[in-house]
Each structure stands twice: as structure tokens, then as C-alpha cells.
Structure 1
Amino acid sequence: MGDGVARSRWGRSRLGGGRWSALAVALLIGVVLAAGFGALAAATGVVADHPLLGGVVFAVCTVGPCAALGYLLVVDRDTIAGATRRPEESVESGWYERAAAGALGDIVVLAGLTLVVATFVPAIADLPLRLVLVVLIGVAAASCALRYLVARRKG
């Protein structure tokens, strides 16, 4: 360690001179963002019959991802115990870059094939856009994860 930086399991926040735990700040950000998303969902009618209950459920379901985003935004990597000094130079980073590039190629091919098939099969062209985007994101995530695991196994 020798660099004089105090390290902890969750790291310190870059805000306020590093006095605050990054996890505490991230949880606060997560709760505020999730409450905003819940209020937006209730106000726009996304949650149908019971807006207040639906807004609360929406907020509860989004607090985790919002806190994770908050953590990524505020944590100072140099204050996390055991963190790699230059992660972009690690073997794992190379595996991820190859996996992500391969997944992008998979998505381009899949989208192209889907467009060709949709040209000849009108029922595919009538699918809801939300469904198509969810499938696209799912395929991208699965492709990247599978490629990463294969690269890790190969070493």
C-alpha cells in the first residue's frame, strides 16, 4: 500500500474530500433516484390501477440498480482494499474487450437477419418495439457473458 491512501472494503466517496463511505453515498443516491422513478411511474400512469402503491413498488424495485449506479459515480477506486491499480491492463480486461466486440458483431448479424426475415414475414414486423428491444438487450448480454466465459476458460 505505501501510498498513504486509507483503504476500505467499499471505498470512500470522491465527494467531500473522501470523508464519506462510498456505499453510504451510493445508497442515498439510489433512494433519491428510485423515489424519483417511482413518482414518475405513478404520475405517467405506468403502474395502472393503484398509482401510489405502484409507484412505491416501482421505487423499491429500482433502488438496487440506482444505488449501483450511484456507487459507480462516486467511488474512488484508489480507496478500495484489494483493487487492481490499472484494471485496463489486466488479463480480465482483455477478455471483456474481446467478448464485447464479439457480442457487437453478433447483434449486428442478428439485427440484419431479423430485418431480412421481417421483410418476407409481416408478422415479425408487427412485433412490439419493447419486446424486440428486450430480446436484443438479452441476446447482447448473453452473447457477451458466454464469450467472456469462453475466453476465461481458454486463459
Structure 2
Amino acid sequence: MPGPLRFSHVGLNCADQKTTEEFYTRYFGFARARVVDLGDARIVFLRQGDAYLELFGADADPARPAQEDGPKAPGRIRHLAFQTDSVDAFLAELGDAAEVTLGPLDFDDFVCGWRTVWLRDPDGVIVEVSQGYEDDRSHDKDGA
């Protein structure tokens, strides 16, 4: 038996790999882990903990979904999501580096202290940044 599966990476097509790499390293805490030279192209791997972003060069203009929290069509990734201690502090640091597409919104009716904002990365990918989300522990097997 091969063992349990665990999340590995998300591959992103980038209009400019350097711009996308700078965005995710500066604002999301990723660091370059490896560059694979393919001769006429390259793949840049960024790592944060056990998660990776795999950056590919793209020939076409970036897609700009009209939806505020990402595309809703089947078979398309809706958005990437990250947690922070403070959405407002994150937005202050981000400044004009990305377009906010929705929010920030408070979801206290669902989880006390949950606050979220959505923005576009340099290639048009929607990125969600939240604070205060917690799992519903009543669903744990032991009921704790």
C-alpha cells in the first residue's frame, strides 16, 4: 500500500513568472524551492511549509474572471485560500499590489471572528485571505 495521500501543489500559468513569484514570496510567505530548466522554458517551485506553488510561463493573456470570489464553472479552480492573523494588516501591507475583488466581509453569523477578502494575483487568479476561521469541532469522531 502506498500510504496516505497528502496535498502537494497547485500549478499556476503566469504571464510573467518573476512578477508572480515576487507577489507570492512577498505577500504570502512562499520561498523559492527549485527551478527546473526545460531549455526553452522553466518551472519555478515556491514552497510554504508542505504546500507548493508551481509556476509555469504562459503565452496567452491572463484570464480575468468576472466573479468576485472566482470562476463558478465546473472543472475550474474557484480560488486559492490563505489564513492570516489580520486581514486588515495584510491589506495594509499589500497596498496597491493587487485588486480587491470582494470584501473584506465579516462572517460572524457563521464563525465568530471570521473575516475574508478576495483579490486577484498578477495573472488574474482569485486569492482568498481569511482570519478567524475555525473547524466545527462537533463533527469530530470523539465529539470533542
Q: TM-score under structure 1 normalisation?
A: 0.22
